[in-house]
């Protein structure tokens, strides 16, 4: 991964090794790894916790704090125990 001024510029695969298992196996980044830059900088990427406020499937959410999200998760785990 090449970073310039704190931003991902491009993802380069590792072309060392060979295609045989006798020596070092060549490690190439999969599609998911190579698309990392697009996923990190996607404007639709979630950057904070969201809580559903409408019915399931309506797509209505509101932003909540990390503290509220962690408290909600902890209480739901405790209730399931």
Stretch (H or E) spanning 51: strand 50-52
The predicted pLDDT at position 21 comes to 59
What are the mean pLDDT values of the chain's consecutive 10-residue runs (81 residues total)?
87 69 64 81 92 94 97 95 77
pTM of the model: 0.55
The predicted pLDDT at position 32 comes to 78
The predicted pLDDT at position 30 comes to 75
The predicted pLDDT at position 23 comes to 58
Alpha-carbon distance values, 26 to 6, 15, 51 (Å): 28, 6, 43
The predicted pLDDT at position 26 comes to 61
Structure token pair of residue 43: 């404007």
- Identify whether the C-beta of residue 37 lies closer than 8 Å to the C-beta of residue 8: yes
* Phi, psi for residue 79 in degrees, rounded to 5: -70, -30
- Domain regions of the chain by residue span: 2-40, 50-80
């Amino acid at each position: 991964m090449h970073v310039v001024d704190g931003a991902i510029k491009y993802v380069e695969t590792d072309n060392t090794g060979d295609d045989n298992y006798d020596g070092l196996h060549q490690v190439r980044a999969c599609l998911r790894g190579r698309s990392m830059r697009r996923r990190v900088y996607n404007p639709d990427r979630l950057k904070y916790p969201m809580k559903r406020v409408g019915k399931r499937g309506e797509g209505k959410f509101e932003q909540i704090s990390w503290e509220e999200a962690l408290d909600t998760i902890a209480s739901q785990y405790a209730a399931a125990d």
